[in-house]
């Protein structure tokens, strides 16, 4: 017990020293020793912060020695429950240099005879040392009866990306979940599995700032925008319709935070009025079709036609709407002949009296 306490004290001092300045640490940090610890990737070796780029610092990373690490990174936490042991995080957060205490339950010890060990959160986001194993103390008591089986922890490598955080340990057979820093979108699979041969099922995803592809072209319209391959969230692009076409929908689209554009409008065609020698009601005004611009009405416009009563000499109305170039006369409508129009203009259906509502019952 005494030796285990000393051991943890040593680790604490060591962990604290790794947070001191690089020059102090140089004296206290062990030289990189490779090959005598379990398989791990040491971050880039360094002497000073400036060798490490802007997001990393030159810190003491245990047996890796002074290495470029991102101190904000975290090790897997919480850990899945272990057999016959309790795990406690000794630091406020599971970030670089945090300490983890593993204590065997009463009656169990580790293969080295101790019942407690400390693991440190390394620069590669893994806890130092091997996965601890607690075995029944009685086995140990039997002298050489049972050699503990140390299962080396096999795992897949975790991504080296400050924008991508991972939940899970990356141990063989386990799954991990990825998350991007806020303001970034994940491109790729958000979950992954570590295969037996220590390869991932999928490549790690990437985190990128959301962007929109070039917006959709609109038939019979133009985009008022600088041509770019990508647009940023919040970018706005205007649409204009070609002459005579009516914009249906908003005149602008915006790149949304999920990388899609807001609703795209359409440009709708005008409709020729299918009446020539009869007045129609457009926009509340009764008028001759040839008095309308190009004898056309705009998309969405209502056109009211005059039809003759099947038996009486009176008229009733029927309304049709222009839909993107399509406007058909109601079935009751008959366009007067040229002779009717020229010789008896006052007898045209659109000019005679309206039927009494009672006649239309």
Ligand X SMILES: *[C@@H]1O[C@H](CO)[C@@H](O)[C@H](O)[C@H]1NC(C)=O
Site of interaction with ligand X (CB under 6 A): 256, 258, 260, 300-302, 321
Residue 20 or residue 302: which is nearer to ligand X going by CB?
302
Task: Please say whether the beta carbons of 63 and 32 come within 8 A.
Answer: yes
Smallest separation (angstroms) from ligand X to the CB of 39: 41
Residue 53 or residue 325: which is nearer to ligand X going by CB?
325
Residue 198 or residue 254: which is nearer to ligand X going by CB?
254
Task: Please say whether the beta carbons of 246 and 270 come within 8 A.
Answer: yes
Q: Rounded to 5 degrees, what are φ and ψ at 117?
A: -145, 160
Smallest separation (angstroms) from ligand X to the CB of 212: 10
Smallest separation (angstroms) from ligand X to the CB of 46: 43
Residue 62 or residue 205: which is nearer to ligand X going by CB?
205
Q: Is the C-alpha dihedral spanning 338, 342, 343, 347 positive or negative?
A: positive
**Residue 195 gets which letter from DSSP?**
-
Smallest separation (angstroms) from ligand X to the CB of 319: 7
Distance (Å, whole) CA 235 – CA 95: 37
Smallest separation (angstroms) from ligand X to the CB of 289: 17
CA dihedral 53, 57, 60, 65 (to 10 degrees): 0
Nearest residue to 107 via CA among 115, 119, 96, 99:
115
Tokens encoding 190:
């958000």
Answer whether the bond into residue 78 is a cis peptide, omega within 30°. yes
Smallest separation (angstroms) from ligand X to the CB of 320: 10
Residue 113 or residue 300: which is nearer to ligand X going by CB?
300
DSSP string, 71-139: TT-B---SPPPPTTEEEEE-SSSSBTT-EEEEEEPTTEE-TTS-SEEEEEB-TTSSBSSPPP--EEHHH
Smallest separation (angstroms) from ligand X to the CB of 318: 12
Residue 321 or residue 354: which is nearer to ligand X going by CB?
321
**Residue 355 gets which letter from DSSP?**
P
**164-167 sheet: strands from edge to edge:** 164-167, 175-180, 191-193
Q: 327: Cβ–Cβ under 8 A, 6 or more apart, which residues?
A: 271, 272, 273, 274, 297, 303, 320, 321
Nearest residue to 239 via CA among 221, 213, 212:
221
Residue 112 or residue 260: which is nearer to ligand X going by CB?
260
What are the CA-CA distances from residue 272 to residues 62, 176, 266, 299, 335 (Å)?
82, 63, 19, 10, 14
Tokens encoding 27:
């004296």
Smallest separation (angstroms) from ligand X to the CB of 298: 8
Residue 158 or residue 322: which is nearer to ligand X going by CB?
322
Smallest separation (angstroms) from ligand X to the CB of 260: 5
Residue 187 or residue 256: which is nearer to ligand X going by CB?
256
């Amino acid at each position: 017990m005494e030796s285990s306490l000393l051991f943890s004290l040593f680790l604490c001092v060591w962990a604290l020293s790794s947070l001191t300045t690089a020059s102090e640490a140089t004296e206290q940090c062990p030289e990189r020793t490779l090959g005598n610890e379990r398989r791990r990737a040491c971050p880039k070796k360094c002497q000073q912060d400036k060798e490490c780029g802007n997001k990393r610092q030159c810190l003491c990373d245990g047996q890796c020695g002074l290495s470029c690490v991102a101190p904000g990174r975290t090790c897997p936490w919480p850990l899945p429950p272990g057999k016959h042991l309790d795990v406690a995080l000794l630091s406020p957060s599971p970030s670089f240099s945090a300490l983890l205490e593993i204590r065997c339950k009463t009656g169990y010890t580790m293969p080295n005879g101790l019942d407690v060990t400390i693991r440190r959160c390394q620069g590669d986001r893994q806890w130092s040392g091997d996965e601890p194993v607690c075995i029944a103390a009685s086995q140990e008591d039997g002298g050489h009866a049972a050699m503990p089986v140390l299962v080396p922890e096999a795992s897949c490598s975790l991504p080296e990306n400050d924008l991508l955080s991972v939940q899970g340990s990356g141990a063989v057979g386990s799954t991990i979940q990825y998350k991007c820093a806020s303001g970034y979108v994940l491109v790729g699979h958000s979950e992954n599995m570590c295969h037996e041969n220590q390869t991932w099922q999928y490549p790690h995803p990437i985190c990128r700032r959301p962007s929109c592809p070039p917006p959709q072209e609109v038939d019979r319209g133009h985009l008022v925008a600088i041509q770019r391959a990508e647009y940023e969230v919040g970018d706005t692009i205007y649409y204009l319709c070609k002459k005579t076409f009516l914009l249906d929908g908003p005149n602008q689209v915006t790149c949304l935070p999920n990388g899609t554009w807001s609703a795209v409008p359409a440009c709708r065609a005008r409709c020729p009025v299918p009446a020539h020698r009869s007045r129609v009601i457009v926009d509340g005004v009764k008028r001759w079709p040839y008095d309308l611009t190009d004898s056309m009405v705009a998309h969405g416009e209502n056109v009211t036609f005059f039809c003759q009563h099947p038996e009486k000499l009176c008229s009733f109305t029927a309304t049709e709407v222009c839909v993107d170039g399509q406007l058909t006369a109601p079935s009751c409508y008959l366009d007067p002949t040229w002779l009717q129009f020229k010789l008896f203009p006052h007898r045209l259906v659109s000019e005679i009296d309206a039927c009494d509502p009672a006649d239309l019952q």
